[in-house]
């Protein structure tokens, strides 16, 4: 072929078909994402993706705690991945039971909301959602619940809930036959169990000591731990206790001191709230948080420990004849201290400035301190429907006079249940004129406050308790012409104020810090009561460092009131060794 032939040869042009350019604009991506969501999907697939979403968005406290415990990333990352896989498998296993139809969307949404709320409180207050914490939360009234709400909570919850709500709203669920859906759900459940077991076996050397030494980690797996704890609160009681009430009042009588008494006894038991023994100046605290009590000749016991770390456990336990171990292992419910006092013929009254008496006062006269208040008292002592504890002294003479006269003639026992230092809104627990420590934290979002501000707000609440107890003693002194009065104060549990990264209370007792278990106990006796029961002050002063617990309250009150009953144990009477000693 010659060059001329090449020049004249026709040129055939190949026209390539160009693919349309991809549009990666946000609007286009959103359209494709929305179209993908609208594509019908089986319920098991939605559950799988939802479980992964919950793992990534609601388990930051768990990750933070694993990092804190583990040290260097090379040490804790494999364990973190293993624990995360266990948490994922737990969520998949639970949600596989709900993977049926679009009508389960509200339940899935509720799980997301629960997980988001739980994460907020774990991050804000370093709590864990074990069964006792869930039970305590369910017992919280509207007044206490308001203190836990904040804009920070709304934001933290919204960040998790809003995207999930949009996704659940848009996604379409394929309708499947029952048995077809059943075997797929069963397969998903089996897969989750197999993966969890495989992970536990493969990482047993790392996971076993980690979980044994850090029991709280198992209650930080979100949301499966909260779902388990909530279920335990409602289901376990059905199997643990019969629901019947075991009487203990048979054979109860008044002792010899009542035979020819000049005046009947009047004993006030103050159940404190969230007070720490190490924040009472009476016990050696550097700040003068108890100036009024120090002027009134009280005795402060320095080594007292609570039955529980939350009100729901501690209050019934301290009034129980069973003691901590017996109370926790009981199969039935039992009558308690106030039942015994009433059976002896005494006039008994429970007065509450809290969210109820946790079942202790259901069989005796009881009242809320907020009821029947006049406008002037509400203005002076209350903020909305929440009042300072001094409100319980308002109209107290009238309340006592309303008790049966024949009982009052024998003796009166009054139980006053404080609001005390209930958090996180500590700044609400003290009047302006007792706020000795400034500046104080003035929000319930404790993470927004400096540590000193938090301590100031808490210590001011202790100063308010000091004033309330001093005013109670003054009120009792005014009763001395008609009665032989005395008072015993003990807090239900303590409080964490940032130590070890913990706030509030409710950590499971076995690994709760000392701050949540070491509580103050203060007594005051009039001259009439001291003579009546032959109490030796020098003996009592010598025993202020004797180790005591809530187990001692039941027997100490019965001993002081000279109530004879088969359940009384002299060895647990904190005052028994100091009576009749001259």
Least confident interval from 185-194, 241-250, 314-323: 241-250
Query: Residue 509: inside a domain, yes or no?
Result: yes
- Using one digit for the tens of pLDDT, what is the confidence trace for 534-572? 999 999 999 999 999 999 999 999 999 999 999 999 999
* Mean pLDDT score, 442-471: 91
The whole-angstrom separation of Cα 228 and Cα 235 is 10
pLDDT value, residue 5:
46
Instruction: Say if residue 543 is preceded by a cis peptide, omega within 30 of 0.
Output: no
pLDDT value, residue 373:
82
CATH code at 383?
3.40.720.10
Same domain assignment for residues 447 and 349: yes
Question: Any idea how long the chain is?
Answer: 582
Long-range contact pairs involving 371-380 (C-beta distance under 8 Å, separation at least 24): none
Same domain assignment for residues 183 and 300: no
Is 29 or 10 the better-scoring residue by pLDDT? 29
Same domain assignment for residues 193 and 286: no
How many Cα atoms within 13 Å fall on the side-chain side of residue 539? 13
* Mean pLDDT score, 483-506: 91
Is 380 or 493 the better-scoring residue by pLDDT? 493
For residue 460, count other CB atoms closer than 10 A to its CB.
24
Q: How many domains does the chain have?
A: 2
Domain boundary at 499, 527, 555, which? 527
Please tell me whether residue 540 adopts helix, strand or coil conformation.
helix
The whole-angstrom separation of Cα 393 and Cα 410 is 22
DSSP 161: H
Query: Residue 582: inside a domain, yes or no?
Result: no
How much is the pTM?
0.71
* Mean pLDDT score, 360-379: 88
Which two tokens mark 122?
């774990």
DSSP 19: P
504 pLDDT tier (thresholds 50, 70, 90) = confident
Instruction: Say if residue 439 is preceded by a cis peptide, omega within 30 of 0.
Output: yes
Same domain assignment for residues 318 and 197: no
Same domain assignment for residues 219 and 299: no
Same domain assignment for residues 367 and 483: yes
Please tell me whether residue 425 adopts helix, strand or coil conformation.
coil
Query: Residue 364: inside a domain, yes or no?
Result: yes
Query: Residue 12: inside a domain, yes or no?
Result: no
* Mean pLDDT score, 351-361: 91
- Using one digit for the tens of pLDDT, what is the confidence trace for 261-290? 999 999 999 999 999 999 999 999 999 999
Which two tokens mark 524?
């005051």
The whole-angstrom separation of Cα 523 and Cα 486 is 8
9 pLDDT tier (thresholds 50, 70, 90) = very low
* Mean pLDDT score, 28-40: 66
Query: Residue 36: inside a domain, yes or no?
Result: yes
Same domain assignment for residues 132 and 62: yes
pLDDT value, residue 3:
43
Query: Residue 556: inside a domain, yes or no?
Result: no
pLDDT value, residue 69:
80
Which residue is it, tokens 């498998």?
89
Would the pLDDT of 191 be above 70? yes
Query: Residue 256: inside a domain, yes or no?
Result: no
Please tell me whether residue 579 adopts helix, strand or coil conformation.
strand
- Using one digit for the tens of pLDDT, what is the confidence trace for 56-75? 999 888 888 888 887 666 66
Same domain assignment for residues 344 and 235: no
Would the pLDDT of 106 be above 50? yes
Domain boundary at 478, 499, 527, which? 527
Do 100 and 44 contact (CB within 8 A), yes or no? no
pLDDT value, residue 162:
92
Q: Could you list the beta-strand ranges (E) of 339-429.
A: 347-352, 366-368, 382-383, 386-387, 412-417
Would the pLDDT of 478 be above 90? yes
Is 91 or 456 the better-scoring residue by pLDDT? 456
pLDDT value, residue 7:
42
Same domain assignment for residues 224 and 303: no
Which two tokens mark 7?
């020049």
Which residue is it, tokens 């709760």?
512
Query: Residue 579: inside a domain, yes or no?
Result: no
Nearest Cα residue to 56 out of 32, 80, 76, 78: 80
- Containing structural domain, residue 388: 268-527
Domain boundary at 502, 527, 552, which? 527
- Using one digit for the tens of pLDDT, what is the confidence trace for 244-254? 899 999 999 99
Pairing type for strands 518-525 and 484-491 reads: antiparallel
Same domain assignment for residues 195 and 66: yes
* Mean pLDDT score, 350-373: 90
The whole-angstrom separation of Cα 441 and Cα 454 is 5
Q: Over the range 110-145, which residues count as b (16 or more CB within 10 Å of their CB) and which as e?
A: ebbbbbbbbbbbbebbbbbbbbbbbbbbeebeebbe
Q: What is the 3-state secondary structure (H, E, C) of 180-219?
A: HHHHHHHHHHHHHHHHHHHHHHHCHHHHHHHHHHCHHHHH
Same domain assignment for residues 149 and 82: yes
485 pLDDT tier (thresholds 50, 70, 90) = very high
Measuring CA to CA, how many Å separate 324 from each of 315, 333, 550, 554? 11, 14, 8, 12
Summarize the chain as % helix, strand, coil (round to 5): 55, 10, 35
Would the pLDDT of 116 be above 50? yes
Same domain assignment for residues 448 and 502: yes
Would the pLDDT of 241 be above 80? no
Which residue is it, tokens 């308001």?
146
The whole-angstrom separation of Cα 505 and Cα 515 is 9
The whole-angstrom separation of Cα 561 and Cα 475 is 19
The whole-angstrom separation of Cα 541 and Cα 149 is 44
2 pLDDT tier (thresholds 50, 70, 90) = very low
Nearest Cα residue to 519 out of 307, 271, 276, 312: 276
Measuring CA to CA, how many Å separate 185 from each of 53, 94, 480? 19, 11, 73
Nearest Cα residue to 439 out of 448, 430, 449: 449
* Mean pLDDT score, 112-132: 84
Do 108 and 50 contact (CB within 8 A), yes or no? yes
Nearest Cα residue to 342 out of 415, 418, 243, 260: 415
Which two tokens mark 169?
């709203």
Is 132 or 50 the better-scoring residue by pLDDT? 50
- Using one digit for the tens of pLDDT, what is the confidence trace for 324-340? 999 999 888 999 999 99
DSSP 580: S
Measuring CA to CA, how many Å separate 566 from each of 121, 170, 334? 45, 67, 14
pLDDT value, residue 230:
80
């Amino acid at each position: 072929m010659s060059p001329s032939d090449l020049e004249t040869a026709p040129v055939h042009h190949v026209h390539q078909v160009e693919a349309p350019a991809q549009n990666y604009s946000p609007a286009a991506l959103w359209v494709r994402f929305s179209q993908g969501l609208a594509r019908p999907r089986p319920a098991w697939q939605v559950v799988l993706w939802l479980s992964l979403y919950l793992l990534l968005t609601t388990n930051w406290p768990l990750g933070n705690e694993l990092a804190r415990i583990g040290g260097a990333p090379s040490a804790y990352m494999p364990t973190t991945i293993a624990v995360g896989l266990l948490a994922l498998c737990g969520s998949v296993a639970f949600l596989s039971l709900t993977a049926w139809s679009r009508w389960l969307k509200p339940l899935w949404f509720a799980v997301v909301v629960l997980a988001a709320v739980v994460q907020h409180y774990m991050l804000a207050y370093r709590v864990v959602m074990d069964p006792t914490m869930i039970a305590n939360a369910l017992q919280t009234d509207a007044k206490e619940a308001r203190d836990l709400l904040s804009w920070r909570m709304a934001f933290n919850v919204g960040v998790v809930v809003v995207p999930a709500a949009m996704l659940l709203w848009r996604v379409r669920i394929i309708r499947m036959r029952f048995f077809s859906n059943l075997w797929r759900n069963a397969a998903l459940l089996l897969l989750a169990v197999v993966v969890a077991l495989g992970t536990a076996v493969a990482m047993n050397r790392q996971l076993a000591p980690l979980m044994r030494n850090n029991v709280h980690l198992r209650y930080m797996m979100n949301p499966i731990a909260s779902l388990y704890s909530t279920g335990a609160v409602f289901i376990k009681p059905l199997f643990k206790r019969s629901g019947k009430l075991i009487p203990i009042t048979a054979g109860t009588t008044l002792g010899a001191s009542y035979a020819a008494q000049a005046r009947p006894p009047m004993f006030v038991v103050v159940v404190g709230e969230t007070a720490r023994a190490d924040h009472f100046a009476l016990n050696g605290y550097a700040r003068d948080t108890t100036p009024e009590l120090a002027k009134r000749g009280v005795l402060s016991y320095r080594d007292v420990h609570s039955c529980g770390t939350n009100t729901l456990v501690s209050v019934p336990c301290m009034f129980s004849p069973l003691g901590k171990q017996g109370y926790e292992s009981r199969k039935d419910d039992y009558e308690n201290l106030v039942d015994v006092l009433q059976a002896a013929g005494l006039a008994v009254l429970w007065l509450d400035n809290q969210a109820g008496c946790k079942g202790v006062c259901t069989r005796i006269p009881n009242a809320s301190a907020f009821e029947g208040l006049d406008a002037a008292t509400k203005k002076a002592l209350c903020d909305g429907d929440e009042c300072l504890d001094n409100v319980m002294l308002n109209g107290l003479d009238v309340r006592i006079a309303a008790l049966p006269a024949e009982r009052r003639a024998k003796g009166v026992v009054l139980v006053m249940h404080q609001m005390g230092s209930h958090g996180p809104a500590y700044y609400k627990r003290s009047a302006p004129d007792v706020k000795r420590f400034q500046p104080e934290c003035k929000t319930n979002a404790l993470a927004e406050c400096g540590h000193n501000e938090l301590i100031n707000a808490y210590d001011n609440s202790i100063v308010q308790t000091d004033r309330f107890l001093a005013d109670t003693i003054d009120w009792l002194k005014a009763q001395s012409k008609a009665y032989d009065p005395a008072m015993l104060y003990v807090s239900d549990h303590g409080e964490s104020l940032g130590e070890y990264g913990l706030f509030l209370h409710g950590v499971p007792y076995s690994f709760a810090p000392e701050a949540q278990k070491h509580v103050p106990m203060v007594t005051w006796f009039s001259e009439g009561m001291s003579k009546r029961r032959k109490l030796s002050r020098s003996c009592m002063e010598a025993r202020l460092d004797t180790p005591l617990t809530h187990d001692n309250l039941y027997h100490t009150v019965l001993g002081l009131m000279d109530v004879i009953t088969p359940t009384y144990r002299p060895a647990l009477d904190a005052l028994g060794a100091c009576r009749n000693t001259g």
